[in-house]
Structure 1
Amino acid sequence: MSNLIAVAARVAAGSAVEFRPTGSSMVPLIRSRQLVTVEPVDPATVVVGDIVLCRVAGAVYLHLVSAVDPAKRRVQISNNRGRVNGWTSYDRVYGRCTAVDGRPRPRRPDTP
């Protein structure tokens, strides 16, 4: 996990970062050790289905946005296997995954 903490710090500082996360919680969207690109994001623009780098309850995750609550300025984070990690505030959303193995990550057609 310390790798994700270092990546989160770089993204929070404004850098786009490429790295290879490990684990199986995001299969098939991201497989263990696939190269991902994460870029800084305005958290108010994230939508359900985006993959974000964020901190939830003390842990850093590269997981899905499963719900958005703009009134409370927070997002719900889940893995791709149905486990909800919890809600986190906009200030703990550091970046959005924009590519996996060099291929742009698609977003819903109705999002910027």
Structure 2
Amino acid sequence: MGVLDSVATRVVAGATVRFRPTGNSMVPLIRSRDLVAVAPVDPAAVQVGDIVLARVAGSVYLHVVSAVDTAGGRVQISNNRGRVNGWTSHARVFGICTEVDGTARPRLDGKLR
């Protein structure tokens, strides 16, 4: 079980989790080792541009919502470099990034559980 799997488990249980993800796929939105906060989310409320913690094809990512299929109850997840991870159901969207290095993320109203 990886770090993001552990974070997902805690978020699903209702916790807001702060951690420092590594990697450069989300620069400049999130830089490697930035302190981020992820809170439980209502998956049906997420929008394109939100950063979510979601499972896609067996892996957990903290990536951007790049498309929404409301009728199908799913979202498309991508990194911030143009790579699409794929579509995932609302049931696999665990949390939303609420803060990056002390700066609140925009458009959170009505999305938190």
User: Normalising TM by the smaller chain, what interval?
Assistant: over 0.9
Structure 1's unaligned 5+ residue stretches are none
Q: Which amino acid aligns with 1:79?
A: N
SS in 2 for 1:72: coil
Tell me the number of residue pairs that the alignment of Structure 1 and Structure 2 aligns.
110
Matched residue, 1:65: 65
Matched residue, 2:47: 47
After TM superposition, the score normalised by the length of structure 2 is 0.94
| Aligned-residue RMSD, C-alpha | 1.4
Matched residue, 1:35: 35
Indicate the percent of aligned positions where both proteins have the same amino acid: 72
Pairs within 5 Å for 1:7-46? 7-46=7-46
Cα distance in 2 between the residues matched to 1:39 and 1:30: 16
After TM superposition, the score normalised by the length of structure 1 is 0.94
Offset, 1:107: 2.7
Contact 1:11 1:39 in 2 (8 A): yes
Give the ranges of 4+ consecutive aligned residues of structure 1 lying more than 3 Å apart after TM superposition. none
Cα distance in 2 between the residues matched to 1:10 and 1:66: 25
Contact 1:5 1:60 in 2 (8 A): yes
Matched residue, 1:105: 105
1:34-64 deviation line (CA, Å, top 9, x unaligned): 0000000000000000000000000000000
Contact 1:8 1:94 in 2 (8 A): yes
Structure 2's unaligned 5+ residue stretches are none
